[in-house]
Amino acid sequence: MTVPSRELRDAFGRFATGVTVVTCRSDQGTPHGATVNAFTAVSLEPALCQVTLTRRSKACGYLDGAAFAVNVLGADQADTAWHFAGRPADPGPEWAEGPVAPVLVGSAAVYSCRPWRTYDGGDHLIVVGEVVDIAVEDRQPLLFYAGAFRELGPRETGTHWGGSLDCPEAGWFGASTTFTPLRPHAA
């Protein structure tokens, strides 16, 4: 059974994500960016993150073996997201020189990356970068949910998630933790 593309896209859209712009240099050396919401942390040791870009994007070609930056957009940067999603604004966003690639001024966070690996992801490429520098600002992120940009709501008050085993203050397990293998499923 094949899931229709539109239904799959709508279902994927039910997962709220942050909004990033992946920045790099074009073949001519000029700054270039692409709006991407498929971004995730991969590893702390070594420090790795990944972005997933459609093979049709210009940025996909520019990232082949090249340094890049992942700019996490702030809640007030929806115009920047649209600019790099194919609706250019005039004037465009402000650029700065980053440690390894051009970066966007005003981002909530920036991960500067050296190329690590690229993997086949069907109609997308999965690009993993080694994080060599970070910059973090105390700004609310821009979110994307159900086909629209959103912002965080007010912080929930009341019950702290300390009652959950996933609370970071309770001490998440470390990378060196060993686990007992699960038993195979009985047929």
| Residue 66 within a domain | yes
User: Looking at 51-55, 111-115, 127-131, 170-174, which range is the least confident one?
Assistant: 170-174
| Residue 180 maps to a domain | no
- Name the residue with tokens 């050396």: 29
CATH number of the domain bearing residue 86: 2.30.110.10
- Where does the pLDDT of residue 16 fall: very low under 50, low under 70, confident under 90, or very high at 90 and above? confident
Which has more pLDDT, 32 or 146?
Answer: 32
Task: Confirm whether 121 is domain-assigned.
Answer: yes
The pLDDT of residue 31 is above 80 = yes
Residue 97 included in any domain: yes
Collapsing DSSP to helix, strand or coil, 79 comes out as helix
pLDDT bracket for residue 169 (50, 70, 90)? low
pLDDT at residue 139 in the model: 93
* Residue 164 belongs to some domain of the structure: no
State how far the Cα of 164 lies from the Cα of 128, in Å rounded to an integer: 31
Closest CA to 150 of 54, 94, 90, 78: 78
Q: Cis omega before residue 46 (within 30°)?
A: yes
Structural domain containing residue 92:
5-156
Max CA distance (Å), the chain: 63
Q: Take residue 6 and report the two structure tokens written for it.
A: 């539109």
The whole-number pLDDT of residue 162 equals 62
Residue 51 belongs to some domain of the structure: yes
| 101 in a structural domain | yes
Q: How many domains does the chain have?
A: 1
**Each residue's pLDDT tens digit, 73-129:** 999 999 999 999 989 888 899 999 999 999 999 999 999 999 999 998 888 899 999
- What are the structure tokens assigned to 31, written together? 């700054």
- The pLDDT assigned to 186 comes to 46
175 belongs to a structural domain: no
